[in-house]
Structure 1
Amino acid sequence: MLRIDGITRAFGDVTALDGVSLEIGQGEFFALLGPSGCGKTTLLRILAGFENPDAGSVTLDGADLLSLAPNKRPINLMFQSYALFPHMSVAKNVAYGLERENLPRAEVKQRVGEVLETVGLSAQAGRKPQQLSGGQRQRVALARAIVKRPRLLLLDEPLSALDKKVRADMQLELKRLQTEVGITFVVVTHDQEEAMSLADRIAVFDSGTVRQVDAPVELYERPRSRFVADFVGANNLFEGTAGGTGPLKTEDFGDLPCTAVEDLPDDSTALLAVRPEKVALREEDGLLTGTVLDVSFYGGVSHISVTVPGRDKPVLVAVQGASGVQVGAEVGLHWEEQDAVLLPVTQ
């Protein structure tokens, strides 16, 4: 539905976007994920019409989008701050865009009623924004965005103002609403868990470029670059040399088992990435041996840091539930070949 081709945007000496190309399908929940300053919000503003690219094109259903004024685009943007009118009721906030289009009063009332029911705010229709919780204000902003039935809804860090529990509830709510109303959602976030839980596909941004576009599971389990492996979730990274599909040869730890995302030239510098939950603790010797530095309990998961001689950074291990291992214990670390990914170190 949406094709972004070679979009470039610079602000003085800073290149915010460098030849970004993406394709987003009808009804897809698509996430732009990356650290602050990587260009994802700039791209969102270009789609909304608040920024003009220096080069490139954007088409929606095959038609040029960049030539249209912001108010003529079948797109709505939900701001990070929600930007609700404080002097208007919930119903008036939601109705504002429809009233500006001079739609019949009866149609406006019907559509506002339907969308407030969809987001579960019918009982709060007469309240002002300051009388609502953060989660409720977020729903008002969402209702105001979808009531105009846009082809594309852009969301800029939509859940960042909410506390952890409300954010988890609203993630489910956003996904439910997106499925129910059938609108294509594009969400900007720096929160990896948020992107992984919401999106059908994720584009990982770094310094104005797209490093990888994939479904959440593929992105997590098969990263294709050092940046993606290091940014998306926790990872234990080992450098060495490899040829073909592995193993990784290291001076300090010998050969470490892994599977490659692509065949590597013989003796090329390579990187092994293994997730904490893929590393098993053993009482006997494993691939590596070390000393338990710290044990942190997070309810459903325990994180165990293990110092390994010859490695500057501790190896992180994640186990289900409470762990019986004690700080100072000598342990072995092991993982299976298919659970570690081999990457070219240059990416």
Structure 2
Amino acid sequence: MLKIDGVTRRFGEVTALDGVSLEIGQGEFFALLGPSGCGKTTLLRIIAGFETPDSGTVTLDGEDLLGKQPNRRPISLMFQSYALFPHMTVAKNIAYGLEREKLSRQEIKQRVGEVLETVGLTAHAGRKPQHLSGGQRQRVALARSIVKRPRLLLLDEPLSALDKKVRADMQLELKRLQNEVGITFVVVTHDQEEAMSLADRIAVFDHGVVRQVDEPVTLYERPHTRFVADFVGANNLFEGALAAEDTLATEDFGALRGRPLRALRTGSKALLGVRPERVRLGAAAATGGGLKGSVLDVSFYGGISHISVSVPGRLKPVLVAVQGASEVKPGAEVTLDWRTDDAVIIPVDQ
């Protein structure tokens, strides 16, 4: 439905977007993920009409978007701050855009009532924003965005102002709402967990370039580059060179097992990435291969324990995640190992 082709945007000597191309389907929940300053918000502003690219095209259902004024685009943008009118009630906030379009009172009343029911705020229609919780204000902003029935809804860091518990609840609410109304959602976020839980597909941005576009599980389990492997979730990365089909040769740790993501030439530089939950923790007395180290710290996160292990020759500790409360204590000598299929060998970024 939305096609972005070769979009570049520069601000002086800074290139915010460098030839970005993406295709987003009808009814898809799509996330633009990356650290601050990577270009994701600039792209959102170009789609909305608040920025003009230096080159490239943006089309919606085959029609050029760049030639249309922002208010003429079938797009709604939900701001990070929600931008609600404090002197208006919830119902008036939601109805404002429809009144500007000069719709009939009857249609405005009907559409506002429908969307209030959708977001579960019918009982709060007469309240003003200052009398609502953060989660409720976010629902009002969402309701105001979808009541105009846009083809595309853009969300700029929509959950960043909420505390962790409310944010988790609203992630479920956003997904439910998107499924119910059938509008294409494009969300900008720097929060990997938020993107993974919400999106059907994710585009990972780095310095104005899209490094990978994939479904959340594929992105997590098969990162294409060092940046994606390191940015999306926790990962233990080891540098070396491909020694054989399933082996990375390293100077400090010997041969490490993993599966290459694509065909690599023997001897070419590569990285091995193994996720914390894939690392097996054993007693130091255990026989066999694997890395040896000592436990630095054990943190319990209610259902999962994170264990940091210092391995000689490695600057960063190896992170291990185990279910439940771990019995291992700081200072314990342990071994670390993993199955070949549980680690990936990634080409070094060119």
TM (norm. structure 1) is 0.99
State the partner residue of 2:162: 162
State the Cα RMSD in Å. Answer: 0.8
Q: Which amino acid aligns with 1:303?
A: H
Greater shift in the superposed pair: 259-268 or 216-225? 259-268
- Runs of 4+ displaced beyond 4 Å: none
State the partner residue of 1:275: 275
Q: Distance in 2 between matches of 1:281 and 1:311?
A: 17
Deviation of 1:245 (Å): 3.6
Unpaired segments ≥5 residues, structure 1 = none
Deviation of 1:244 (Å): 6.2
State the partner residue of 2:47: 47
1:300 equivalenced with 2:303 (yes/no): yes
Greater shift in the superposed pair: 239-248 or 16-25? 239-248
State the partner residue of 2:312: 309
Greater shift in the superposed pair: 146-155 or 256-265? 256-265
1:326 equivalenced with 2:302 (yes/no): no
Greater shift in the superposed pair: 243-252 or 283-292? 243-252
Aligned-pair identity (%): 78
Q: Distance in 2 between matches of 1:244 and 1:261?
A: 14
Q: Distance in 2 between matches of 1:182 and 1:90?
A: 23
State the partner residue of 1:112: 112
State the partner residue of 2:80: 80
State the partner residue of 1:142: 142
State the partner residue of 2:201: 201
Deviation of 1:246 (Å): 3.0
Deviation of 1:243 (Å): 5.0
Q: Which amino acid aligns with 1:309?
A: P
Cα deviation, 1:163-222, whole Å, max 9, x if unaligned, reads 000000000000000000000000000000000000000000000000000000000000
Deviation of 1:265 (Å): 1.3
Cα deviation, 1:240-279, whole Å, max 9, x if unaligned, reads 1105643100122111000011111120111000000000
Q: Distance in 1 between matches of 2:246 and 2:207?
A: 30
Q: Distance in 2 between matches of 1:20 and 1:74?
A: 22
Q: Which amino acid aligns with 2:290?
A: L
Q: Which amino acid aligns with 1:327?
A: P
Q: Distance in 2 between matches of 1:161 and 1:30?
A: 20
State the partner residue of 1:21: 21
Question: Structure 2 matches for 1:93-108, cutoff 5 A?
Answer: 93-108=93-108
Unpaired segments ≥5 residues, structure 2 = none
State the partner residue of 2:89: 89
Q: Which amino acid aligns with 1:293?
A: L
TM (norm. structure 2) is 0.98
Q: Distance in 2 between matches of 1:310 and 1:81?
A: 46
Q: Distance in 2 between matches of 1:109 and 1:266?
A: 68
Q: Distance in 2 between matches of 1:245 and 1:72?
A: 55
User: Judging changes above 3 Å, is the alpha-carbon distance between structure 1 residues 244 and 77 closer, same or farther for their aligned structure 2 residues?
Assistant: farther
Contact persistence 1:243–1:264 (CA under 8 A): no
1:188 equivalenced with 2:207 (yes/no): no
Q: Distance in 1 between matches of 2:104 and 2:298?
A: 63
Q: Which amino acid aligns with 1:15?
A: T
Cα deviation, 1:80-128, whole Å, max 9, x if unaligned, reads 0000011110000000000100001000000000000000000000001
Contact persistence 1:213–1:219 (CA under 8 A): yes
